[in-house]
């Protein structure tokens, strides 16, 4: 998710400069016409830094920026992998739950609920950045490898734990996805906790954003702007599980849904092969069924890291944007207990947790442009 109309987005083109008009669009919100920024100018790094070291086809021969050898197969179980440094405490909560119940779904749900409860995280659950009308709309999905089951909710409001709503959709209905008010009513009927998801801090920032849009179209960018938690897990039996939760693109148009609740987009689990999750700009993931593609590359025998890299290369080959402008990241595990991750830009970090250890790692990268800090937690140097 990306903040529309941020100073970073506007930096590369100002009023009166060539290209500025092409990078602006407008929408009616609450009777007010608000101009917003297209994705094209979100990242400010020069394209020249990206093209260095590329092949004639425009893709790196080897994913740059990964200081670590390719992760080897792990032995301990559960193996839990999730996005960003804020995934580490979520993984550890999932490990605790697994130790109590031995259930992979319980572990995934508990870990993601921890992140959804963190009001300092501006990208997931309560405290998430609202849409253009000041309403927090949440998306989430969950998958179980055994039985190839899935549940999802999108555009749900006032529900504190959309990951729990997604699990209930999977376990209590014949459906896979519920959206909007229908999802909210179902969650309430199932006894899930409700509340105001818009914190005073995010409300104030939204009001400043609206005022700035109307005044100059150049609002102050909040410190924390996005991203998703995606988590995958292998249990002691070798079964695979996964979940994903987000508040989505900051100040998005009401009703916008990204990749996070889309099975095969933000998350995919195949109990015979492996599991994968995504984070970043959802539109650039869902148009290519990104997580599904990662799993399919693993089916061909690729290591999880290699599968993530090849997925980004495939998307970049088809997409007209420069690779550094895609803002997509993937992580994956396979049935051997191998894991890996890759990003279209450098800076993507992911968390891995085993019974005897928990740490944050740097992913492989497909360009040398630094990814900006994401979510309610900063990138860490302690890796």
pLDDT of residue 214: 77
**Helix segments in the chain, DSSP class H:** 7-11, 48-51, 87-101, 104-116, 162-172, 180-189, 200-215, 283-286, 290-299, 304-318
326 assigned to some structural domain: yes
125 assigned to some structural domain: yes
61 assigned to some structural domain: no
DSSP state string for 246-290: E--STTPPTT---STTSBTTTEEEETTTEEEEEEE-THHHHTTTH
373 assigned to some structural domain: no
168 assigned to some structural domain: yes
238 assigned to some structural domain: yes
pLDDT of residue 207: 94
- Give the Cα separation of 290 and 312 in Å (integer): 8
In the three-class reduction of DSSP (H, G, I as helix; E, B as strand; rest coil), residue 32 is classed as strand
- Give the Cα separation of 330 and 346 in Å (integer): 12
pLDDT of residue 213: 83
307: tokens are: 């599968």
pLDDT of residue 383: 55
135 assigned to some structural domain: yes
**How many independent structural domains does the chain possess?**
1
Sequence-distant (≥ 6) Cβ neighbours of residue 333 within 8 angstroms: 79, 81, 232, 234, 240, 274, 275, 276, 304, 339
- Give the Cα separation of 253 and 320 in Å (integer): 23
pTM: 0.80
The full length of the chain comes to 383
Catalytically annotated residue among 41, 83, 228, 353: 228
Residue 351: is the preceding peptide bond cis (ω within 30°)? no
CATH number at residue 346: 3.60.20.30
> Is 380 one of the catalytic residues?
no
- Are 335 and 344 spatial neighbours (Cβ–Cβ below 8 Å)? no
26 assigned to some structural domain: no
Q: Whole domain around residue 93: which residue ranges?
A: 79-198+223-365
Q: List per-residue pLDDT tens for the chain, 383 residues long.
A: 444 333 333 333 333 343 434 444 455 545 555 444 443 333 333 333 333 333 333 333 344 444 445 666 677 899 999 999 999 999 999 999 999 999 999 999 999 999 999 998 999 999 999 999 999 999 999 999 999 999 999 999 999 999 999 999 999 999 999 999 999 999 999 999 999 999 999 999 999 989 888 775 544 443 345 579 999 999 999 999 999 999 999 999 999 999 999 999 999 999 999 999 999 999 999 999 999 999 999 999 999 999 999 999 999 999 999 998 899 999 999 999 999 999 999 889 999 999 999 999 999 999 988 765 454 444 555 55
């Amino acid at each position: 998710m990306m903040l529309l109309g941020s100073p970073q987005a506007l930096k590369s083109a100002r009023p009166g400069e060539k290209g500025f008009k092409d990078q602006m669009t407008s929408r009616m919100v609450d009777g007010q016409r608000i101009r917003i920024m297209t994705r094209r100018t979100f990242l400010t790094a020069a394209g020249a830094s990206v093209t260095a070291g590329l092949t004639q086809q425009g893709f790196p021969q080897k994913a740059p920026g990964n200081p670590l050898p390719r992760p080897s197969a792990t032995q301990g179980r559960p193996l839990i992998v999730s996005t960003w440094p804020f995934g580490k405490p979520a993984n550890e909560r999932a490990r605790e739950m697994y130790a109590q119940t031995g259930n992979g779904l319980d572990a995934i749900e508990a870990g993601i609920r921890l992140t959804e409860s963190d009001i300092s995280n501006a990208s997931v659950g309560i405290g998430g950045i609202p849409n253009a009308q000041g309403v927090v709309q949440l998306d989430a999905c969950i998958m179980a490898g055994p039985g190839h089951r899935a549940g999802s909710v999108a555009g749900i409001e006032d529900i504190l734990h959309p990951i729990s709503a997604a699990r209930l959709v999977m376990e209590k209905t014949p459906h896979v996805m519920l959206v909007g008010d229908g999802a909210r009513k179902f969650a309430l009927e199932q006894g899930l906790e409700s509340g105001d998801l818009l914190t005073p801090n995010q409300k104030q920032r939204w009001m400043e954003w609206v005022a700035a849009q109307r005044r100059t179209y150049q609002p102050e960018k909040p410190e924390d702007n996005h991203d998703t938690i995606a988590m995958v897990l292998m249990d002691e039996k070798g079964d695979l599980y996964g979940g994903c939760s987000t508040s989505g693109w900051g100040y998005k148009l009401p009703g916008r849904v990204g990749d996070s609740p889309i099975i095969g987009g933000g998350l995919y689990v195949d109990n015979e092969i492996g599991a994968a999750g995504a984070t970043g700009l959802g539109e650039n993931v869902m148009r290519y069924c990104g997580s599904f593609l990662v799993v399919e590359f693993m089916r061909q025998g690729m290591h999880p890291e290699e599968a993530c890299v090849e997925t980004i290369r495939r998307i970049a080959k088809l997409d007209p944007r420069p690779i550094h402008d895609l803002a997509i990241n993937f992580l994956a595990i396979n049935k051997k207990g191998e894991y890996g991750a890759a990003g279209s830009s450098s800076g993507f970090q992911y968390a891995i947790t085993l019974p005897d250890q928990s740490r944050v790692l740097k992913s492989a990268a497909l360009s040398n442009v630094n990814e900006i800090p994401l979510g309610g937690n900063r990138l860490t140097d302690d890796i």
